[in-house]
Chain A
């Protein structure tokens, strides 16, 4: 049984002091239900996740106690991707006809402060100042720039594109484009990455209504088909966050293995993708993920960014809504925002940021600590 997405809902990312995270999730769920023209009572199952906003299944207190199967998902930044994978499998198996996927969050300001014990590490690792995701991101792109000839200018170009695209996206948190000089001269956070090169923890909610493809037109005139959903964890040797040591041989990241499996299962290749969302926790991540997802060779990013290949007007638009950089990262919702944006683009509802040429096939990639990647391939 093929799987379709027939409802899209979002509570804008950023800061909403008047609403709890759970309320933002409920608002997104109600928006998705309205988009599909369906009642919550009709939902047979739900997959949901939130890191700091409370248990996702508490949403039934706001949406209705209907007795549906509700599964909480906790997979770090890849929570949204993992939730959608659960829903994909539920429909694909033939067990269910229609269900809800929802993610929301409400984080404090500033970098996440992870606890070593939650990650199988001893306290010394955090106490001595090694347990920061920002350090890992700085170190991974530092080595990548050394190995593949990526310049600081390319880092700036990615940030410039993100905020420019955010300025075209009504639901984005960062609504103002930034100049080259503003980005270049921003305070350094973790060499070589400065303030405008990182996304920030944020708030927000996102929801999707997923159903059997053969009933999709009952709910929406333009269903988007979820061709495949793949989630992979890290292999031995992959360079990942929160690692006190790394093996001698650097292995493929889980992004590479998830991407390869997704292309194979969907029966398409990177050249078939018209619009993509790639995890951009920081600018280096977007650059590395272009190659890890098979869209270019390592090092090609230098020319691709200079030539505008990944701009909205380019051959492979990437992060058309400004990505994590312009939307912030409410962890539970972030991976679903990516899918939401690709569905908007494939429906042709992108407004000022719409990709021209009637895009047919889209791609999303989410990456989370300590090495989980989720890839979705979507088509009209």
Chain B
């Protein structure tokens, strides 16, 4: 995807492959945050550093978005082309749970505790025709 860029900078590494989630860690109390924070929600400290949060985790909870959201939702979809998408929290190795769109969009495909991996997807095209990218998680391949 040469003509592509993140919808929002700083959420995931790009164009490095494989991409990983980018967050922050508090040097005072050790708590992680995503997206990265300038101050710590746990201890109120301001001694933060960047942290690579990896690209794997397990599904902590999930739902399915079955109708097309109103604004501020902004994709190239129409009510006719809208496809339901999964939403879940992925528990990462550091313990932090990150909210994410899920590739899976049917109840039978999703189970709490299943291994998940990061992937980068296109949200929409910008005015110049470039793909705007975000992250989502999907079932790890060993799960089939």
A interface residues, Cβ below 8 angstroms from B: 110-111, 113, 115-116, 122-124, 126-132, 135, 138-140, 142-143, 146, 187-192, 236, 243-249
Contacts and interface: CB of A to CB of B under 8 A. Distances in A.
Given A245-B97, A247-B31, A124 B112 contact: no
15 contacts: A122-B35, A123-B72, A129-B65, A130-B99, A135-B65, A135-B87, A190-B65, A191-B66, A243-B99, A244-B98, A244-B99, A245-B99, A247-B41, A247-B42, A248-B96
Report which residue of A110, A113, A129 has the largest number of chain B beta carbons within 10 angstroms of its beta carbon.
A129
Nearest to B136: A128
Contacts of A244: 34-35, 98-99
Contacts of A122: 8, 35
A110 B23 CA distance: 34
A113 B42 contact: no
Interface size class of B (residues with CB under 8 A): 35 or more
Nearest to A142: B61
B64 A191 contact: yes
B143 interface: no
Contacts of A131: 69, 72-73
B107 interface: yes
Contacts, number: 117
Given A131-B72, A236-B41, 18 more contacts: A115-B72, A124-B134, A127-B73, A127-B75, A128-B73, A129-B69, A131-B73, A138-B64, A139-B87, A139-B89, A142-B112, A143-B60, A143-B112, A191-B62, A192-B63, A244-B98, A246-B60, A246-B89
Contacts of A115: 72
A131 B71 CA distance: 10
Contacts of A116: 72
A122 B11 CA distance: 11
B33 interface: yes
Nearest to A189: B66
B142 to A, nearest CB: 22
Contacts of B100: 130
A142 B63 contact: yes
Interface of B: 7-8, 11, 23, 31-35, 41-42, 60-67, 69-75, 85, 87-89, 94-101, 107, 112, 123, 134
Contacts of B69: 111, 113, 129, 131-132
B88 A139 contact: yes
A375 B11 CA distance: 38
A249 B95 CA distance: 8
Nearest to B35: A244
A298 B92 CA distance: 26
Contacts of B88: 139
B71 A113 contact: yes
B11 A113 contact: no
A142 B111 CA distance: 10
B11 A246 contact: no
Contacts of B97: 245-248
B135 to A, nearest CB: 9
A247 B26 CA distance: 13
Nearest to A194: B66
Contact of A123 (B8, B63, B96, B112): B8
Contact of A127 (B42, B74, B85): B74
